[in-house]
Amino acid sequence: SKDSGRNSFRFFNSSISHNMLEHISLISGMRRGLQEQQFSLHYQPKIDLQSHRICGFEALLRWNHPEQGYISPATFIPLAESSGLIIQLGEWVINEACRQARAWIDEGMPDFSIAINISSIQFKRGNIDTLVFNALTRNQLPPQYLELELTESLLIEDSERLANTLANLRSEGVHFSIDDFGTGYSNLGYLKKFEVEALKIDQSFVRKMDNHSGDAAIVRAIIQMASSLGLKTIAEGVEDASTAALLRGLGCTYAQGYYWARPMPVADAKHFWLTWIKD
Ligand code: C2E
Ligand code: CA
Ligand code: CA
Ligand code: CA
């Protein structure tokens, strides 16, 4: 009826504005949070499946909101992207990861790299190559300590500016890997064009490898293709020993997941690392 139509419209309308208010308050909260040091990086170790060494860490952003506690990046990254705040947030991540890498070198930790996630929006809008070079220089950090995780959707874009930025970074020795590989596109030409170093096999395939033969077949195919192109593979979302063993058997290069460790605050990550080295 006319009436219920109006009511449902009103309901729809008010739930939208409720959502918008919440979004606006989160966005201004992020702005304040950046000034008040509410953001931090947590570190998840990456294991070399053949040598069983820790070869590096993925840095994952965390927001410790003063009232709401830890808010997931899955919630705030999209808002940071739509509001443009991802530029400042991403800049903070680059600087913080480089600062931490320098600190670990100075503390005498063995060889490692820190992988950071770069939003496509940040890559397209910001002068990311300059940001990265400045952060490396300021921290006297050799570029091989840093790795950028990019998404397929970014690399299939046919833009000269993007190609130049990637080439600049690559020629200075910064490595890239493709995050969430397998979930996006089938045109793989960009892999050769941009000198990608590694493919990160999406956890949606890895987590079901054990009992879904279809997913195991996809993982096997990705590893074979990567190795024939001279690329490394990183499996993410490894939660048990049998998946780790399967991946090792298939020749996957690196892996990360709750089976070894969750992303940890920096002190815990270092403690985990030192214990790992001792064992
Ligand atoms: P991602 O880059 O694909 O990161 C992997 C996610 O899987 C992380 O979630 C990680 O904590 C989680 N994970 C790792 N091992 C396991 C496992 O064994 N099992 C399960 N169930 N999950 C596992 P997180 O930290 O919540 O991050 C979510 C997403 O937010 C990331 O997905 C990434 O797209 C984005 N993100 C995180 N930090 C940053 C950042 O600094 N910048 C940007 N632009 N995006 C970020
Ligand atoms: Ca990632
Ligand atoms: Ca991923
Ligand atoms: Ca993801």
pLDDT tens for each residue of 100-157: 999 999 999 999 999 999 999 998 876 999 999 999 999 999 999 999 999 988 888 8
Residues 6+ apart with CB under 8 A from 95: 135, 138
Does 163 or 259 have the greater pLDDT score? Answer: 259
The atom of ligand 1 lying closest to the CA of 256 is: 15
237/244 Cα distance (integer angstroms): 10
pLDDT at 16: 65
State whether residue 232 is helix, strand or coil.
strand
* C-beta of 117 in contact with ligand 1 (< 6 A): yes
Token duo for residue 167: 């080439």
Question: Rounded to an integer, what distance in angstroms lies between the CA atom of residue 218 and that of residue 215?
Answer: 5
Question: Is 256 in a helix, a strand, or coil?
Answer: strand
Q: Does 26 score more than 80 pLDDT?
A: yes
For ligand 1, atom 27, which residue shows the shortest CA distance?
A: 73
Q: Which ligand is nearest to the CA of 177?
A: 2
Which atom of ligand 1 is nearest to 118's Cα? 44
ipTM of model: 0.97
Specify the length of the chain in residues: 279
Nearest in space to 260 (alpha carbons), one of 116, 56, 109: 56
Spacing, Cα 60 to ligand 1 middle (Å): 6
77 lines ligand 1 (CB under 6 A): yes
* Residue, of 162 and 76, whose pLDDT is higher: 76
Give the side-chain half-sphere CA count within 13 A for 116.
29
Residues 271, 57: Cα–Cα separation, whole Å: 13
Query: In angstroms, how far is CA 149 from the centroid of its own chain?
Result: 5
Whether 97 lines ligand 1, by a CB cut-off of 6 Å, is no
The reported pTM is 0.93
Query: Quick check: 62 and 118 in contact, CB under 8 A?
Result: no
Confidence of residue 14 (pLDDT cuts 50, 70, 90): low
Q: How far is the CA of 179 from the centre of ligand 1 (A)?
A: 10
pLDDT, tens only, 198-208: 999 999 999 98
- Residue-wise pLDDT for 211-242, tens only, equals 767 788 999 999 999 999 999 999 999 999 99
Q: Are 65 and 29 in contact (CB under 8 A)?
A: yes
- Give Dmax over CA atoms of the chain in angstroms: 73
Ligand 1 close to Cβ of residue 184 (< 6 A) = no
- Which ligand lies nearest the alpha carbon of 76? 1
* Minimal-distance CA residue to ligand 1 atom 44: 119
